[in-house]
Copies of this chain bind each other. A is one copy, B any other.
């Protein structure tokens, strides 16, 4: 992409309404624009990051054998009355009457509708296990929306639902989600720690929240610092292997790590003192096993191997896709701007032309652009007639991991400059070597 043809409305000043750094930087980098309280448009740069995160979630869910589908945003109130949640949900639910006066709502989550789909089509244990998920816009009418996309009203969320014959099968689904989530967050450059949590309005006993440590987090968390040494890495996972999934679940959840909702001082005291940490965390996902809560209320039963009708065991599993954009920035920025992890960056590499209009510099930039594009990467070429300082400030603000700087002086010596956004380190390389090095970062 050439910046002269892009829509990147960066702001020089810090917007007064933004209280936390991710909100500030997303506004300043031209990623989002508020259209109403807690409701945002995603401008081109922001949408690219959102889509990269969405794609990682889709890829990891497919690996785990979970099926993508999509439910509507506007649902009938009737289903929510069946489960009893229509009245429970309170003012956070956006309630709507259609032109015929029927009660509708904007879905905050979809346990009822997915259970309705299941009961309408699945009658036998032979059609299970089954896990379906969607990535869809949700609405929660927060009293005080704030912190940008971290606590908006309209938000983009992955919500998945498993249907199993037995509790044991459902716990395997739980473990499978835990494992796939660990891998998902690591691909985004995040360490998200599963912590024992409270189930809230979803219900159920077994639930873990995934939290990213950050000073601006909304939750107080208590953990054994040994959990932060765990990394998922390049493990080869067979998602059908119950023992393997269970053992990874145990590896990542046995050490003490809890939110304030479930914190237990006595247990925490057993952690060696030097490893006892109290911090703040941003919730970026949650998994639940809630058994037959919805299947009993809504009559989602199947015939088991003995011909008996039994209610199915269920769980649900969420990842805050739009919230993750903010969470990643909270975890990865400096005073100049965002520092995107390579897994989610909107462009793979910036190209800064120090002397736009200089025939040699222009040609060298076009050549870099061409080679990076040919290798399947997306560069962002700042081809505007701006001074170098402004171009550098923009690149630092929007946080691309790598920047190539091209100017007449370097070209005279046959080199361009390659700069790493994270370390700030630069090196002079031939254009060929610089291209090869950038390509190598993404393979």
Contact = CB atoms under 8 A, between A and B. Distances in A.
Interface of A: 5-7, 9, 30, 33, 35-36, 39-44, 46-47, 50, 65, 67-76, 79, 91-92, 94, 96, 98-99, 102, 104, 106, 113, 116-117, 120-122, 130, 132, 137, 139, 141, 143, 153-154
Given A9-B121, A36-B75, A154-B74, A69 B43 contact: yes
A113 B154 CA distance: 16
Contacts of A33: 117, 120-121
A91 B96 contact: no
B94 A68 contact: no
B116 A35 contact: yes
Given A44-B67, A91-B99, A72 B154 contact: yes
A69 B42 CA distance: 6
Contact of A35 (B46, B76, B132): B76
A43 B71 CA distance: 8
A41 B117 contact: yes
Given A65-B5, A98-B94, A117-B33, A44 B154 contact: no
Nearest to A240: B5
Nearest to A127: B7
Given A42-B70, A47-B69, A50-B70, 14 more contacts: A7-B67, A7-B132, A9-B122, A36-B74, A36-B102, A41-B72, A42-B71, A44-B68, A72-B137, A72-B154, A73-B73, A73-B137, A74-B106, A74-B139
Nearest to A384: B126
A9 B69 CA distance: 13
Contacts of A9: 120-122
A9 B121 CA distance: 6
Contact of A137 (B39, B69, B137): B137
A50 B72 CA distance: 14
A68 B96 contact: no
A70 B98 CA distance: 25
A70 B99 contact: no
B106 A36 contact: no
Given A33-B120, A69-B7, A137-B137, A44 B96 contact: no
A150 B168 CA distance: 43
Contacts of A71: 35, 41-42
A88 to B, nearest CB: 16
A132 B45 CA distance: 12
A72 B41 CA distance: 6
Among A47, A72, A99, residue most surrounded by chain B Cβ atoms (within 10 Å):
A72
Contacts of A137: 72-73, 137
Contact of A141 (B70, B76, B98): B98
A68 B92 CA distance: 30
Nearest to A71: B41
B94 A96 contact: yes
Contacts of A65: 5
A275 B65 CA distance: 54
Contacts of A39: 72, 74-76
Contacts of A75: 35-36, 39
B74 A143 contact: no
Contact of A68 (B47, B69, B116, B132): B47
Nearest to A68: B47
Contacts of A130: 7
Contacts of A76: 35-36, 39
Contacts of A116: 35
